[in-house]
Structure 1
Amino acid sequence: MNSLWEFDSDEVKLVISDIELMWNVVDYLWADNAVHFDIVIPEREARNVRLGFPLNARISELITQDKVNIYASEATPLSTIVFDGSQLYTLVRFGQIEQFAKSTNEGLQTSLNAEFVRITESAELVDPDILAWSELLGQLEQIVDSDTRHEFERLIEAARIDNLGALDHISVALVAAAHSGALLNDLSTWSEEVGLASAATFSRRKQKLEDSGIIYTEKVPIEVGRPKQRLKLSDAISKVEIQGEELDITREGGQNVPNTVGDTDAGSDSATEQLDTTDIAHGDEDLQLLEQELKEAIQSQ
């Protein structure tokens, strides 16, 4: 192991104490075809791996390629440890220095390696529970269109590694679809089929983007039923990029659009989770209204 992300072995064991390091691991494995990682993370962090998009989709891709196994353990590691073949390293961070320090304690190496095996034998494998990244993009192209797929991929790929777990992917998908003039119904269908968000969630986020003057919709008449909505990017928008975790949208003349479309309630661990909770809340309200209507109908008879 000559540097922070250069390994001598093609079988690496990694214990992560800081989940932010996972972004770097995924980025490394994304570019390297020869290394397989077995990773132990704290149980409390497994939820972040499952919910953080597109990190979860990338991890799902790596799992299908047999490049990584992630185990959630009740044991809480105090430091990041790497087993690179027969060598043991510990991650040292101090100021601007970040480096793996090699251990020469053979007894410690043997004990930690045995503990790693013991933990992984009893720990639960983390399942991202989402389609692999390539399959997700493939379905986006199949259900919506290739232009939307490429624009969505461009925006996501432009994000910094350490923001891959917190992107407002719903707004990104809507803006990508508006850029290519896709149908809202097709995008919602794709989102529900791949497990990103419900149609109701997309509808509410679309409304926020419309209210902000970022996108608008055109009615598309059909032979039977209500007209469909085609998403369009506002003529006043000159550039759309990813800045940090958010969309960076610029109007003609260089004026930036305040990013309020991705705001979620304080205390929520995940934008996806918070939005799904909102869907449930709306469903409860609808159920209560239906129950009240039934009661009034019964009383009037």
Structure 2
Amino acid sequence: MSTELESELHGTDPTSVFREFLSEAAPSSVYHLVDLPWPYVAAMTDASTEFDPEELPSLRLLARRETLVSLRQSFLGAARAANLVDADKLTVREREPVGDTPLIVGDDQIRVPLLLDGTGAAIVSAEGSFSESAPESIADAWEHGEQFSLRTPALTRVRETMSEDLGADLREDFDQGLARAATQRDPGSFEPVTAAVVVAAANGSLHYDLSRWGETVGLASKATFSRRKGELEDLGVVTTEKVPVDMGRPRQRLHLTEEYDSVLDDYGVDELVARVAG
């Protein structure tokens, strides 16, 4: 049986390709994203932030384990993907590679994402006998895939609870650090616990409040926050001040050291976070 292809190049980079795809897809439709390379998975999470979740189709990401581990290790990508999971717009499963070609498969259309020289991107729409048989085979592969946990809280939940529990000023500073990280060549290098400790120190917050928030929202355990605070103290980034309480041991108020307070004053919180956590 022959395959008819109608080749159309779309987009100039992975994010623009996904932006166009998401803008055209009906909210009631279901698409399987199969064996996408990491740049396209990252582009999917990036482009999704430009839409209300209700406007998006249901996405089923079926990928190799190494690709999904890369997603989990990128806080920005994983937290954005978790937004879609919370909105019932994304399900993630892992399995061995289904084939050699990455595919975006819908009921009536197949898109083949391409990477050109590792940076440029294009997409080919396919129609014909292959597009008629592929959805069934992909659906079968999906049924045999294993559920994959992102182990990362949704970015929307992180931001909302940070504002509620730690204050709007701290959340705005954290947002600035995130925005700076999103523009970097490797946004996956952003370390959210370090960034949270640094912006908490910039705002004079209590370490107890920060670590309790972080554990409750699912960012990291209290022990992880304590270790990171200690590391930043050893590096001369933050210092602490004892604050007495009515019962129990004194709490610790976080502050920046003089050196890093000068960085904050001279260059802003985004540069401060980039130097320490980005």
TM category, shorter: 0.7 to 0.9
Q: Please, which of 78, 95, 102 is the counterpart of residue 80 of structure 1?
A: 102
Taking structure 2 as the reference length, what is the TM-score of the superposition?
A: 0.77
Gaps of 5+ in 1: 250-258, 263-301
Say which SS state the counterpart of residue 225 (structure 1) adopts: coil
- Residues 1:63 and 2:82 aligned together: no
Q: Please, which of 21, 27, 37 is the counterpart of residue 40 of structure 2?
A: 21
- The number of equivalent residue pairs is 249
Q: Following the alignment from structure 2 to structure 1, what is the Cα–Cα distance between the partners of residues 134 and 65?
A: 19
Q: Does structure 1 retain, via aligned residues, the 8 Å contact 2:85–2:91?
A: yes
Distance 1:39 1:187, change over 3 A: same
Q: Which structure has more RCO (C-alpha within 8 Å, separation ≥ 6)?
A: 2
Q: Please, which of 125, 131, 135 is the counterpart of residue 153 of structure 2?
A: 131
Say which SS state the counterpart of residue 170 (structure 2) adopts: helix
Q: Provide the residue aligned with 1:146 in structure 2.
A: 168
Which structure has more strand as a fraction of its residues?
1
Q: Following the alignment from structure 1 to structure 2, what is the Cα–Cα distance between the partners of residues 32 and 97?
A: 23
Q: Does structure 2 retain, via aligned residues, the 8 Å contact 1:42–1:77?
A: no
Q: Provide the residue aligned with 1:118 in structure 2.
A: 140
Tell me the CA shift for residue 51 of structure 1.
4.5
Q: Provide the residue aligned with 1:31 in structure 2.
A: 50
Which structure has more helix as a fraction of its residues?
2
Q: Provide the residue aligned with 1:234 in structure 2.
A: 257
Q: Following the alignment from structure 1 to structure 2, what is the Cα–Cα distance between the partners of residues 248 and 50?
A: 20
Partner AA of 2:226 in structure 1: S
Q: Provide the residue aligned with 1:91 in structure 2.
A: 113
Q: Please, which of 231, 248, 254 is the counterpart of residue 274 of structure 2?
A: 248
- Residues 1:219 and 2:245 aligned together: no
Tell me the CA shift for residue 154 of structure 1.
2.1
Taking structure 1 as the reference length, what is the TM-score of the superposition?
A: 0.72
**Percentage of identical aligned residues:** 25
Q: Following the alignment from structure 2 to structure 1, what is the Cα–Cα distance between the partners of residues 45 and 135?
A: 23
- Residues 1:201 and 2:217 aligned together: no
Q: Does structure 1 retain, via aligned residues, the 8 Å contact 2:78–2:152?
A: yes
Root-mean-square deviation (CA), in Å? Answer: 2.7
Tell me the CA shift for residue 247 of structure 1.
4.0
Q: Following the alignment from structure 2 to structure 1, what is the Cα–Cα distance between the partners of residues 170 and 114?
A: 43
Residue range with higher mean Cα deviation, 83-92 or 228-237: 83-92
Tell me the CA shift for residue 241 of structure 1.
5.5
Q: Provide the residue aligned with 1:173 in structure 2.
A: 196
Tell me the CA shift for residue 201 of structure 1.
2.3
Tell me the CA shift for residue 120 of structure 1.
1.5
Q: Provide the residue aligned with 1:9 in structure 2.
A: 25
Partner AA of 2:161 in structure 1: Q
Q: Provide the residue aligned with 2:76 in structure 1.
A: 54
Partner AA of 1:52 in structure 2: S
Tell me the CA shift for residue 99 of structure 1.
0.4
Q: Following the alignment from structure 1 to structure 2, what is the Cα–Cα distance between the partners of residues 241 and 80?
A: 39
Q: Does structure 1 retain, via aligned residues, the 8 Å contact 2:108–2:132?
A: no
